[in-house]
Amino acid sequence: MKIIVCGAGSVGRSIVSYLVKGNNDIVIIDNNQRHLDEISKEYDVLPVFGDASHPDILERAGASGADLLLAVTDSDEVNMVVCQVGHSLFSIPRKIARIDSEAFLDPVWATLYNENHLPVDLIISPDIEIAETILRILKYPGASGILPVLDRNFNIVTLRLQADCPLIKVPLMQLNRVVPDLELAFINIVRGNDCFIPELYDCLEAGDEINILVAADRVDETIRDFGLEKPANERLVIFGGNQIGRFIGRHVEADDSIVSCKLIEENFDEARRLARDLSHVVVIQGPMMSDIILEEADISHADASIAVTGNDKDNLLASLLAAKSGVPSTLSVVNTPSYNNLIVNIGDNILVDRSSVTISKLLKEIRKTKMELSYSVSRGCGEIWEIKVGADSFCCNKKVGELSLPKQSRIFAVYHDKSLVYPVPATEISGGDVLLLYVESGVIKQVEKTFA
């Protein structure tokens, strides 16, 4: 697939870092030569210098033969023009635009985006998606990740197991002897640098990061069963007043469960704008690492800190300082996937990977399988697909074991007649069923062929 990515900033970089794993021909356009030099040194892409909205630049990038156009610059208006030019002059079949402004995202203007007006096939808002990801995690203290599936009736829950977890060293087949009411499906386990699908005889170990499927109304109970319960996140400190911080601030103002929220922003003008926009969030202007500023934010009494600046190192350092001050839960947004390897070295800090959040919105567009939703999980080790089985589907009226899926993939749940089934090889798939699959990155192409 030939893909043109317009914008080599943090969003463009996160998208490229994932797309290069597949068999894709990627061209990236930006008017910042330094950004192009950095990204072309790190990834096998063709850099093109110039304004992506200019027809001659798109032509030089090979737009006439492109399959997918991703307009993800920092300007909503530029992204819209890029899609219009790509459609009108080069007939690019699929066009995706990054739109961050709430004015453009208002449902009142939804009819703006079609072939007769602005030919945008899909709108993504990475900063808002990241903010919503963080808010879901804050809702369930003790979890490292929450991904809704099956019309939000169930969640994919990520947990990082501690040494005092009561289920450590217990084979998965015997977990119900320790916790009789435990109802979940294991999806995968990240252990050190290894990521694998567990078998029933496998045991959990301290330090494991697990992904499990849990009913939405049993998430808190499941977190307690694994010994990971933490105090409710009632007092928050946000590091960074960008779009992510602003969105979180607006949300918590409407949340009665939040007692207080302090937001630290170094830029004076931005802090003043935030103070005007946010009525109940206390905006503090000053350096995030200052002891005086941290004391003013009352960091030692916070339940959770959220570091969302555009600088990975600042976010990690802010979280470390917060943890040192006694904050029970710390979250850091990271833009560079390599920082995921530091997950063990920074203690209990939760990393929110921009690339995983962003690419999850795009997987439906770049995969050859029709799916309801999809997620990139476990630091890019695999993907979770939700697929609805049609009456004419290849797998309709077949048993799970007859699909001959590679061992690095698994159907871990079947939603049949509004009931969840944990399938075995003899489980029959019917039209209308919804399948939940985990697919490791190395076998994505093979599984795509099965469900194409």
Predicted confidence at residue 445, as pLDDT, reads 86
pLDDT higher than 50, residue 422:
yes
pLDDT bracket for residue 344 (50, 70, 90): very low
Residues 6+ apart with CB under 8 A from 358: 11, 14, 15, 124, 126, 129
Angstrom CA distances, 318 to 81, 125, 212, 239, stand at 38, 25, 30, 7
Asked if residue 366 lies in contact with residue 19, where contact means CB atoms within 8 angstroms, the answer is yes
Query: Span 240-265, mean pLDDT?
Result: 94
Tokens found for residue 123: 């709108």
pLDDT higher than 70, residue 397:
yes
Least-confidence region, from 33-37, 130-134, 309-313: 309-313
3-state helix, strand, coil in the chain (%, to 5): 35, 25, 40
pLDDT higher than 60, residue 342:
no
DSSP 3-state of 260: strand
Summarize pLDDT for 137-192 with one digit per residue, the tens: 999 999 999 999 999 999 999 999 999 999 999 999 999 899 998 899 999 999 98
Which residue spans within 354-443 are E strands per DSSP? 373-377, 382-388, 409-416, 419-421, 434-440
Residue whose C-alpha is closest to residue 216's, from 142, 133, 151: 151
Sketch out the chain's domains with CATH numbers: 2-124 (3.40.50.720), 142-225 (3.30.70.1450), 235-358 (3.40.50.720), 362-451 (3.30.70.1450)
Answer yes or no: pTM beyond 0.95: no
User: How many residues does this entry show for the chain?
Assistant: 452
The overall longest dimension of the chain from CA atoms, in Å, is 67
Query: Span 297-325, mean pLDDT?
Result: 94
Summarize pLDDT for 81-119 with one digit per residue, the tens: 999 999 999 999 999 999 988 778 777 777 777 777 789
Predicted confidence at residue 356, as pLDDT, reads 87
Summarize pLDDT for 46-57 with one digit per residue, the tens: 999 999 999 999
pLDDT higher than 90, residue 362:
no
